[in-house]
Structure 1
Amino acid sequence: MILAHADPVHLHRLIEALEPFPIFLHIDARTPDATFSAMTANLPSRCALLKRTATSWGQWGLVAAELEGYRAALEVTEATHVALFSGSDYPLAPANAIAALLKGHIGDSFAEVNELPYAKWGRSGGLSRLRYRHWGFAKRMLRLPIPRRLPENMMFTGGSQSKVLARDHARAVVEIADEHRDLVRFWRRTWVPDETFVYSILNSPRFVPHWKTQLVPTNLWWIGWDETPRKSPAWLGMEHGDVLLSRQKPAAQQVPILFARKFSTEFSTPVLDAIDARFSLRSSSTCAEEVVQT
C-alpha cells in the first residue's frame, strides 16, 4: 500500500522497484489534477487505485486511507502481509529478499512501537495527543484545552506509520474500526492519529490477545531523522549513501533493514541510482514462484 501526494517520477520509480508485488495506491484528494494524471499514467496492471480522501498531515485522513488499503488488499489478494509505504519511500532490497524474510514470519507483524506515555514524545509522553480534541491546519495544530475521558480498556500505543502487518492483524484493525465507531469518532479528534490508532487497537488485549507474541519489534525502514527539531525527516542524498548501501541497522535489531525514507526526484536521484545498482532493483522482473505478496 502506498500513500502518495506528489512527485510522479519517484512514485513510478517506487512502483517499478516493488515489482512483482501488487500495489494499492492512494493519492491525496488535494493533489492537483495535472499531478494526479501524471502519477496515474501508465500504471502496471498490478497497481490498483484506492478511493481518494484528503490526507492532511497529522489528521484522520491518513488513517482512513490506510484502512481503505487494508480492505482492498484483504478483498482481492491472499497476501500474508501488507506493507504501508509513503510515496517518498524506496526499497533497499530486491523483491525475493523481501519475500524470503516475510515467508519466515507468517503471522508476524513488524513495527517499532511504545506504550504511552513514552518519554520521547514530550512532557505528557504523547497522551496529550489523545486527551485533548485537535484540529489541524497547514501542519499547524489547533488544540481545545479541555481534557476529555479516554476510551476504557485500551492500551494506548504509538509508533511510526511505517509498518508491515500480518494479514490477520490488518483484518483485525479493519473489523474493529467497523464495529467500534465510537473509537473512530474519538480518534478523529486526536493529533497524528496515524501513529496511535492502529497500534492502540492491536496492543489492546480485548481486541488482539496475542499481538505481543506476534510482533517483531523493529522498524524495517531506515528514516533520516537527525537531532534537528522537525516535523518530517530530511531528504536523503549521497551523504547518506554509506548507511543506505550497507543497510545499517541498530545493533539490537535482529532482522535487516528493507526500506528507507524519504527520497525525491529533485534531491535523491544519484543515491537512488546507486541503490538500484547495489541491490539490482528495476533490472529484472524475476522472483521466486511462491512470492509473499506485500
Structure 2
Amino acid sequence: MANSPAVACVVLAHEDPAHVRRLIEALDPFPVFLHCDARTPDDVWAAMTADLPARVRLLPRMRTGWARWENVAAEVEGYRAALAETDVSHVAVLTGSDYPLGNPAELTALLEANHGTSFLGVHPLPWSEWGRGGGLPRLRFPHWAWRKHMIRVPVPRRLPRGVTPAGGSQLKVLAREHADAVVRAVDTRPDLVRFWQRVWIADETFVPSVLWTESLTPGFRQAHLPHSLWWIGWDGSAMKSPPWLTIADAGRLFQWRTQPVAEAREVPQLFARKFSTDRSAELLDLVDAAFGLRPTRPERVAAEVVPS
C-alpha cells in the first residue's frame, strides 16, 4: 500500500458502540473522522470513543437524527476535517451500521485507478423512483421532522438561484476536489444552508444538488461513476429503511460480492449495510475471514466456511 492512505472515512454514528469500534478496526489503516449524535447517552458515547487509535479524529457533536439538516452539517464537517488534516484523494461517508466488503488494498487500488473520480448515483429531479412529484416537493415546500413524522407547510417557495436540484444516497465516496466543492458551497452560499434546513431528508438532496450544479462543482458530471460502492440487503418487502443483515443473508451477500462485475455495475461494491452487534456478529465474522479484515482479532473464523 502507498504511504499515504487513499481515502479518509467519515463515520456518522449514534448507537451500538461495539459495532462502531469493529467498523473502525476493519477500516485500518484509513483515517476515520467519527461523529456521534449529541443525543447519544454519555455511557454509549464513552464506550464508543475510549482509547481509539490515533488515526481516529472525533468531530464536534451535533444533534443529528431522522430527516434533520444536521446530518448534512455533520457530513460537511467530516469533509472539512479530512481535507484539512490529510492529503487523501477521496473521502467516504459511512454510517455507524456499515461495514467493508473488501480489504484496504482492494479499495486503495480502485481509488488509485480512478483519481479525481467520485462514486455515487446522482439523479436530477424530478426522479420517477421518488414517487409523486419525483422528489421536488421535498424542496418546494418547507418541512420539519417531529418524532419521525413529516410536517409539511403547504406553501410553495422558490428554489435557490442557480442550483440544479438532484437526489441520491447519503452513502458515497467523493474525490477530494468534489468534497472541497461541497464545503465551499456551505461556506459561500448561506442561502443554500438556510433553504436546506427546511428540506425533507436534506442528506439525500443537498450534496447531490451541489455536485450536479455546474457553477458550484465544475466538471463533476464528467468526473463521477454513477455506481454506489454499497451493497444494501433489500429483500423486496415494503420498508423505509434497509433490513438488518444476519447470518441468513450470507449466501446472497457473498454471491453478489464474489460474482464477476456485470456491465451494468462497473465497479465492485466494497461496503454493505446494515449491521449490528446483536444481529450480525456471525455474518461479520465470515466477512472478516473472507476479506482479511481485522486479521489479529481472535474471534475470526476459518475462511473455508465462507459460502462459495
Comparing 232-241 and 94-103, the one that deviates more: 232-241
Shift of the alpha carbon at 1:226?
3.3
In the alignment, what sits opposite 2:303? none
SS of 2:145 mapped into structure 1: strand
Residue 30 in structure 1 maps to residue 42 in structure 2:
no
Of 288, 291, 294, the residue aligned with 1:279 is 291
Residue 94 in structure 1 maps to residue 106 in structure 2:
no
In the alignment, what sits opposite 2:178? 169
Amino acid of the residue matched to residue 19 of structure 1? D
Give the 5 Å matches for 1:66-215.
66-215=75-224
How many aligned positions are there? Answer: 285
CA distance in 2, matches of 1:243, 1:200: 33
Of 21, 46, 54, the residue aligned with 1:45 is 54
Of 253, 258, 264, the residue aligned with 1:244 is 253
Residue 21 in structure 1 maps to residue 33 in structure 2:
no
Residue 261 in structure 1 maps to residue 273 in structure 2:
yes
Comparing 195-204 and 229-238, the one that deviates more: 229-238
CA distance in 2, matches of 1:35, 1:17: 20
CA deviations on 1:248-282 (whole Å, 9 max, x unpaired) are 56650111110000000011111101101111110
Shift of the alpha carbon at 1:86?
0.1
SS of 1:2 mapped into structure 2: strand
Amino acid of the residue matched to residue 280 of structure 1? G
Structure 1: gaps (5+ residues): 286-294
Root-mean-square deviation over aligned CA pairs? 1.3
CA deviations on 1:213-263 (whole Å, 9 max, x unpaired) are 101110000012233332211001122212322315665011111000000
CA distance in 2, matches of 1:174, 1:284: 37
CA distance in 2, matches of 1:159, 1:211: 15
Give me the TM-score of the superposition, normalised by structure 2: 0.90
CA distance in 2, matches of 1:234, 1:250: 25
Aligned-pair identity (%): 54
8 Å CA contact 1:116–1:156 kept in 2: the answer is: yes
8 Å CA contact 1:245–1:278 kept in 2: the answer is: no
Higher relative contact order (CA 8 A, sep 6+): 1
